[in-house]
Structure 1
Amino acid sequence: MKGYVLRFSFLLACLTVSACDKPQALTDSPLVLEGKTMGTYWRVSLAGVDSSRVVALQQFIQQQLDEDDHQLSTWKKDSVLSGFNQYRGAEPQPISENMAQIVSVALRIGRRTAGAMDITVGPLVNLWGFGPDKQPIRTPSQAEIDAARALTGLQHLKVIQSGEGQWLQKDLPGLYVDLSTMGEGFATDHLARLMEKEGINNYLVSVGGAVLTRGKNAEGKAWRVAIQKPTDKESAVQAVVDLQGHGISTSGSYRNYYELDGKRISHVIDPASGRPIEHKLVSATVIATTALEADGWDTGLMVLGTEKAKQLAIREKLAVYLITKQNDDFTSWMSPQFAAFLQKQ
């Protein structure tokens, strides 16, 4: 959903510092399955699994991810989320338990980031050409930005849950929910649940830039993930982590952009200003108990910029790794919680 580009290496695959590349395990010969979903790529690396199961597993995985996409896509007009966005009433609309979970986590992180992570910024995402709408041919005017911002706000969205089901409600008719910042994390967690259901205990699963691991790789060692430096050189590794059964996600700005009126337009939109970010933070990586949680926090941190992101990471005790552009070089910072996952190269 974030516009990722597939990029693999035989010996090393990186969880990149941009919203571009895709991770894989640091191991020689796992059983690997892969495919496309949500406008990006999924990959599953397995250890101790017979190759005779490949066809069945590939089918199960793709079916599940196709259903997730049908629930969460803003690009498909017949998706559940698109139906909610097109609805102009105020009555609660029935949703799946999965969607209720995603939106609930997003609203919680949105509050904890003072609105920096806002899944209602869809009108602004579309205005700046990063949604289903085409890229603008000119910079949006302040009036257009203000009009789009008037259709946003987490306070206008509510999840209702009871023993009878789950519903999503909005009190602003034009509210447009965009779950692209959370969908990959959720789908990664969903893949992990599928692996457990299939009796598989040693795996690395990823959708786009979200990754989750369990158990050991084909060499009997911990799965490791590398964070790539913000460069076009695929082998340039910034740090290597042992996820210890956690999820990891990276949000970045240095590759997913376009040029307009002589300026670089980032895909990361600041809900407060209604404009793409212009600060020097180029990537934020978060490790959390689930990939969904990591996928939500990394976006909020990217919006905030380096100093505010540091403050938030410390206050919330998050495992965070930040990379900031400084002149012609990059500087990095990690929270104490992130350091616990760091591996010596």
Structure 2
Amino acid sequence: MLRGIWLCVLLAALSGCGERIERFTGPTMGSSYSVQYLPTERSPAPQRVQAEVESILGELDRHFSTYRDDSEVSRFNALPAGACQAMPEDMLALLRYGDELSVASAGAFDLTVEPLMNLWGFGPQARSEAVPDAAALAREQARVGYRHLHVEGNRVCKDVAAQLDFDSIVAGYAVDRVSARLAELGVRDYLVEITGELKAVGHKPDGSPWRVALEVPSGERERTVERSLELDGYGVSTSGDYRNYFEEGGQRYSHTFDARSGSPVRHKLAAVTVVDRSALHADGLSTLLMVLGPDEGYRFAEQQGLAAYFIVHQGLGFASRATARFAELFPEPARR
């Protein structure tokens, strides 16, 4: 489900060392999570904090995982055209947000692209990475489109054999859920990272801000740190094409799909980072901008006042471009 993780949480180098920082990590969503926080007089023992976090992640896995047959989303995806299924409130909320992104992007962003991902070799039921023939592409594209779904109370219904995939937003939602629970437990200073999506609140023990590194590729599937961001109360998400793709006939095919064409994007945008108070919004918007590409995506980001940072393929290297809001939040360090 990973979409090209470009944010590096440098736990030791950037987050600081100190006896008061508690850290724990674990597997989740086909990848991993990590939490760092400063205990307070109100916060419970670290073992309970970790148990609370993993309870949230376990619930989300039961609802949203397309890699387990018994999840809510897998049961819905197995239903035929014309069927309905009652959904938990978190799935309904994310479906509504996905619809908002679909409308805003004129259908470029869509939560129903799983049939296309499987067809091209990137989804949970994929057989191999390959360019499909025109007939297969037309068949699967007929099952794609947020307008094929409608909500009746707490039930989601479909008029074709549509399949949902929340991977483009669920990790950001998980970060927000975990962050909210930490606050309820009395934790005021923390950094949460889940499959590369993250949020930082408060400060380190010495009073300095949490810092994360923004990366750019430096070679074949390699990466280097371009700059670091100081965060307090913001979520950060990066979507990119640099690590999850295949090549056929001299053409590169990304795992990011434009639902309008039914095909992987073919523009020169390598990655885009979005910073927002909501990690859910940052997660969804980074995917949306990645689908739209370097020009249409940049215009959209500026029109919406988004804090976004674009990395674009340029010859054998890369060029970067920040929106006005991003530059306002994170001014370029003075060059010596």
Same fold (TM over 0.5): yes
Match of 1:8 in 2: none
Aligned-pair distance for 1:57?
2.0
Q: Which of 243, 260, 281 lines up with 2:231 in the alignment? A: 243
Quick one: percent identity of the two aligned structures? 34
Contact 1:24–1:45 at 8 Å: present in 2 too? Answer: no
1:138–1:226 CA distance, 2 compared to 1 (3 A): closer
Match of 2:241 in 1: 253
Q: How big is the alpha-carbon RMSD for the aligned residues of Structure 1 and Structure 2? A: 2.2
**DSSP-derived class of the 1:181 partner:** coil
Q: Which of 195, 211, 230 lines up with 1:224 in the alignment? A: 211
1:182–1:303 CA distance, 2 compared to 1 (3 A): same
2:34 is the alignment partner of 1:43 = yes
Structure 1 regions of 5+ residues with no counterpart? 4-17
2:145 is the alignment partner of 1:153 = yes
2:89 is the alignment partner of 1:97 = yes
Aligned-pair distance for 1:244?
3.0
Match of 1:118 in 2: 110
2:313 is the alignment partner of 1:325 = yes
Number of equivalent positions? 326
Aligned-pair distance for 1:341?
2.1
Match of 2:192 in 1: 205
Match of 1:10 in 2: none
After superposition, what is the alpha-carbon deviation per residue over 1:13-56, rounded to whole angstroms, capped at 9, x for unaligned? xxxxx436653552222321111111111111112458982322
Match of 2:180 in 1: 193
Aligned-pair distance for 1:135?
4.1
Match of 1:12 in 2: none
1:27–1:343 CA distance, 2 compared to 1 (3 A): farther
Aligned-pair distance for 1:310?
0.9
Aligned-pair distance for 1:214?
1.2
**DSSP-derived class of the 2:45 partner:** helix
Contact 1:323–1:333 at 8 Å: present in 2 too? Answer: yes
Which residues in structure 2 correspond to 1:249-288 (within 5 Å)?
249-288=237-276
Contact 1:240–1:343 at 8 Å: present in 2 too? Answer: no
Deviates more, 1:268-277 or 1:238-247: 238-247
Aligned-pair distance for 1:210?
1.0
1:327–1:234 CA distance, 2 compared to 1 (3 A): closer
Deviates more, 1:263-272 or 1:305-314: 263-272
Q: Which of 135, 139, 143 lines up with 2:131 in the alignment? A: 139
Match for 1:192: what amino acid?
S
Deviates more, 1:303-312 or 1:255-264: 255-264
Match for 1:180: what amino acid?
D
2:53 is the alignment partner of 1:65 = no
TM-score (norm 1): 0.88
2:285 is the alignment partner of 1:294 = no
1:180–1:303 CA distance, 2 compared to 1 (3 A): same
2:25 is the alignment partner of 1:34 = yes
What CA distance in whole angstroms lies between the structure 2 residues aligned with 1:134 and 1:222? Answer: 42
Match for 1:225: what amino acid?
V
Match for 1:47: what amino acid?
L
What CA distance in whole angstroms lies between the structure 2 residues aligned with 1:91 and 1:138? Answer: 31
**DSSP-derived class of the 1:99 partner:** helix
What CA distance in whole angstroms lies between the structure 2 residues aligned with 1:98 and 1:87? Answer: 20
**DSSP-derived class of the 2:111 partner:** coil
Deviates more, 1:27-36 or 1:256-265: 256-265
Contact 2:121–2:129 at 8 Å: present in 1 too? Answer: no
Structure 2 regions of 5+ residues with no counterpart? none
Contact 1:22–1:208 at 8 Å: present in 2 too? Answer: no
Match for 2:265: what amino acid?
I
What CA distance in whole angstroms lies between the structure 2 residues aligned with 1:212 and 1:278? Answer: 30
Q: Which of 183, 192, 205 lines up with 2:170 in the alignment? A: 183
